[in-house]
Amino acid sequence: MNNVFSGPFPNVRNTLKGSVNIISSNKISITYDSMIDGTGKEILAGTKDNRKKLNNIETLLATDNIIIWKVPLEKESIEQGEDLLVFIREEDLDSQLYKLRVN
């Protein structure tokens, strides 16, 4: 399954491309193998070693408006919430990107 993940990274819109694999009913892994930068140029990972992979991402909550993932971190002591990814639905994404001057 190929997926495209898009987002503003500071004030430039980069698009990550890769795949999502279901591990269990509440765990997934994501592999990124290319990125389209703010100028439209695609940068390929090239080799298998250059691909970025997140394993065992646990879904804590998933609704129509929010997704909360817990990502395993390598270090033992972490700040509270440092291992969480929170995605909140933005109804007017174009407006928010315009505010950030992301094209």
Reported as a single tens digit per residue, the pLDDT across 57-97 is: 999 999 999 999 998 887 766 677 888 999 999 898 888 87
Smallest CA-to-CA distance from 57 within 76, 29, 93 is with: 29
Euclidean distance between CA atoms 78 and 4, whole angstroms = 29
Question: What phi and psi values does residue 99 have, to the nearest 5 degrees?
Answer: -60, -35
Helix ranges (H only) for 4-80 are none
5 vs 41: which has the higher pLDDT:
41
Q: Domain residues of the chain, as ranges? A: 2-99
pLDDT tens by residue, 12-39:
777 888 999 999 999 999 998 888 887 8
What pLDDT score was predicted for residue 1? 46
The pLDDT > 90 percentage for the chain reads 32
